[in-house]
Chain A
Amino acid sequence: MTFRLPLYNRVALLMAMAAAIAAVVLPFLGFAPNRLLSGRPVPLWAAVQGPGGLAILPGLVLLATPFLRPTRIGLGLTVAAGGLFAAGLVWLAGHHATELAQGASAAARTSFASGFWVMAAAGLLTAVDAARWMGLGAVGRLAVGGAVAGLVALQLATGHLDALSILKEYANRRDVFADAVLRHAMLVAAALVPTLLVGIPLGVAAHRFQAVGRAVFPVLNVVQTVPSIALFGLLMAPLAALGALLPGSGISGVGPLPAVIALTLYSLLPIVRNTAVGLDGVPAPVREAARGMGLTPRQIFLRVDLPLALPVFLSGLRITVVQAVGLAAVAALIGAGGLGAIMFQGLFANALDLVLLGAVPVILLAVAGDALLSIGIAAATSHIGLSPGRNAP
C-alpha cells in the first residue's frame, strides 16, 4: 500500500522548495575582512550549528504547510510559520554575525547573502498568500505584517543585529539616517499637496466635461511615460533659468523644488483618472433619485457623489503614494536628498549594505503607505456593497 501526501497549497509547496534549495545551495551570509573586499560565503548549515539554530524551526513547519488542510487553523499556522521563519532568519543572521565578529578585526563585515533573501522572501510570500486565502481583511493583514516587523524591530532595539554590516553602515550614518527618512517622507508629502489641490478639481472637471478629459489625459499619460531621470533633467534647465532671473527666490535647477514638481507631475495621472472614474461610476439612477427628491446640486455632490466615488479615489491615492515613495529615491540624483542619497552613495562606493540601508526603508515606507490606504479603502467600501463602476442595480 502506498501513502500519498495530499497537496492542498501549491504556492506553499513552490515556496518551500525554493527555500529548501536555497538553504542547501546558496550562501546564507557573506563574511569579508573589510567592506571593499568580496567575502567568503557562509552556508546555512554553518550558521545553524549550536542552540541558535533553533531560531529557524518554523522553517520545518513551513516545509509541512503545503500539506495542511486549508482550514482557518491550517492557514493560520501557515501564516505564522512563514512570518516566524523570516523573523527567525534575521535573528540567526544577527546571532551568527556576532559569533563571526569575535576574533575578527573591527573592519570585518557580515552581510546577508542570496540564500537569506530567497528564504526570507519564500517565508513572507507564503504568509501573504495564506493570509489572503484566509480572507484576512486589510486590518488583519496589517496586524500580521506589524507582528513580523515588530519581531525584527525588537532585535534591532536590543542590539542583537549590531554585528551585521547593514547596521554598521547605519552606525556610521546614524546622524543623517533619520534626516534622510524624514526628508524622503517630506518630499512625498510636499508633492501630494499640489497633486490633490490640482488633481481633484481636474478629475471632477474631466467627469463633468468630456472635453476636459480629452485634453488632460493624453498629456498626463505622456508624462507617465517619460523616464523619471529624464523628467528631472528636463526640469533642471528652466528652473535654473528661473532662479537666475529671480535671485534670492531660492529657486534652482537642483534640490527639492524640481523633485517636488516632477513627483507632482507623475502623481497627477492616478489622482485625476481615479477621481473621474470614481465619479463616472456613481449609478445614474441614484443621482436621478437624489435630484427627484429635492437634493440641491451641492448636496448631491457631497452626500452621493463623494462617498460613492471615494473607494476608487483612494485606490488612485494608494498608487500615487507608492509610486511617489519610489520615485523620490531617484530624486536624490538632482540633490533632493532623502533615502535615495544613501542608496546612491552606496552604489558609487560599491558598498551593497549601504544601498540596502537606503532601499529597505524605501520599501517599508511604500508598504506602510499601501497598507494604511488599503484599510481606508476597506472602510470606505465595507457597507457600500457596490463594486466601484457597477451601474444600475
Chain B
Amino acid sequence: MIDFERVSKRFGSWTAVDTVSFTVAEGEFRVLIGPSGSGKSTVLRMINRLIPADEGAIRIDGEDIASLRPEELRRRMGYVIQSVGLFPHWTVERNIATVPALLGWPKARIRDRVTELLELLNLDPRRYRTAYPHQLSGGQQQRVGVARALAAEPRILLMDEPFSALDPITRASLQSELSAIHRRTGTTVVFVTHDMDEALRLGDSIAVMDHGRLIQCATPLEILTRPASPLVRDLVGREEWGLKRLAVETAGDRARPQERVGGEPLPSETPLHRALSEMVSRGAERLPVVDGDGQPAGVLHLSDLVRPAPDRAA
C-alpha cells in the first residue's frame, strides 16, 4: 500500500506538487495522468525518493519512506522509464540481473529468474540472454526494461510513460502483456501516462493531475461518465466517446446470463467496443458469450450496449 499524506514539492518558486493526498491499495493498478508539467512524474519519482518531498509524508505499508535508506527503498521497487536506460555495456542477462545481484541472490537463482522473465516478456532466452542492448529493437529494449524492473519480485512497480516512445502495435502488445503480468503477480503498479486511451485500458483507477493538484481519482468508468472538471472531460476527449465508454466494460458485464444462442462465442472478458465491432462485421444483433472455461455465460444484445450503465458500476 502506498499512502501520500498532504505531500508538496517545490522547485524554486514553482510548485510541482501541491498538497496531494491519495492511497494506492495493495495490488491496484493506478494510472497517473495529466498534461505536461502537471506533476505526475514528480509524484512517481517521489515514491522511490528520486525526488525528496518538501512537505507531508509518504508511507509504504505504513512505513515512512524518509526513514529508509534510498537505495534500499529503490531495490524493493521496479522502475521503468520511457527512454529505458539499459546499461549499454552489459548483456541482457546482466541488465535484468542488476537488482538481484545487488541483493546478493545466488547465481543459479538469478539465472533461473532471468530465463523466467525473458519467457514472460516473450523474448527467447537462448537468443537474447547474451545479446547487448544495441542489438535489440526499441520494443525489445523496453521488454528487457520491464523484465529488469520485475527481476527482484518487487511488490511495487513504478512506470514513467514506459510505452510512449513505441510504435502503436508494439505499444498495444506490451500493454496487454503488462495487464497479464499485473493480474498474475498482483504487483501494485503506479503508471504515469499522458495518453487517456492507455489509462482507460490499463488502470483499475485513474488519478488526474493538473498544476500539481489532484483533480479526480476514480475508476475508468467514473472518469468517463462523471468527469470532475472540464479538464478531465478534455483529457477524455469528445471524439469517439461512445467507443471509449464501451471499452471500459466487458461482454460478461452486459450479457443476459440465462439466454443461449448459436454462433461463434465471444470470451466474456472481450471489451464491449470489440463486441460491437464483431456484431457489425458479422451482421448479428446477438452474440453468445462464454466464460474463461469455455462454458456458456449468456447472450449479448446490441440493444444492451446502448442502455445506461448498470447500477452496480455507477
Contacts and interface: CB of A to CB of B under 8 A. Distances in A.
B49 to A, nearest CB: 10
A203 B271 CA distance: 57
B73 A288 contact: no
B88 A308 contact: yes
A285 B84 contact: yes
16 contacts: A283-B88, A286-B86, A286-B88, A289-B86, A289-B145, A293-B75, A293-B79, A293-B102, A294-B71, A295-B71, A295-B98, A384-B88, A384-B132, A385-B88, A385-B132, A393-B83
Interface in B66-113: 70-75, 79, 81, 83-89, 98-99, 102
> Nearest 4 CB-CB pairs, A to B?
A289-B85, A385-B134, A294-B74, A285-B85
A288 B83 CA distance: 10
Nearest to B145: A289
A303 B88 CA distance: 11
Nearest to A383: B132
A290 B94 CA distance: 13
A283 B89 contact: no
Given A285-B84, A289-B79, A385-B132, A294 B89 contact: no
Contacts of A61: none
B89 A383 contact: yes
Contacts of B88: 283, 286, 308, 384-386, 393
Contact of B89 (A291, A292, A299, A307): A307
Contacts, number: 82
A392 interface: yes
A288 B79 CA distance: 10
A209 B135 CA distance: 34
Nearest to A391: B83
Main secondary structure of the interface of A (DSSP, over half): helix
A386 B134 contact: yes
B75 to A, nearest CB: 4
B148 interface: yes
A304 interface: yes
Contact of A291 (B74, B87, B135, B145): B74
B135 A385 contact: yes
B243 interface: no
A294 B85 contact: no
B86 A292 contact: no
A285 B142 CA distance: 13
A281 to B, nearest CB: 11
B141 interface: yes
Interface string A255-296: 000000000000000000000000000010111111111111
Interface of A: 283, 285-296, 299, 303-304, 307-308, 383-386, 392-393
B85 A290 contact: yes
Contacts of A293: 74-75, 79, 98-99, 102, 148-149
Interface string B209-239: 0000000000000000000000000000000
Given A294-B99, A294-B102, A384-B89, A289 B84 contact: yes
A292 B79 contact: yes
Contacts of B48: 292
Contacts of B87: 286, 289-290, 303-304
B82 to A, nearest CB: 8
B133 interface: yes
B172 interface: no
Contacts of B84: 285, 289, 393
A296 B71 contact: yes
Most chain A CB atoms below 10 A, which of B84, B88, B102, B149: B88
B46 to A, nearest CB: 12
Contacts of A296: 71
A383 B48 CA distance: 31
A385 B86 CA distance: 12
A283 B79 CA distance: 17
B280 to A, nearest CB: 41
B284 interface: no
Given A291-B74, A292-B48, A292-B74, A308 B81 contact: no
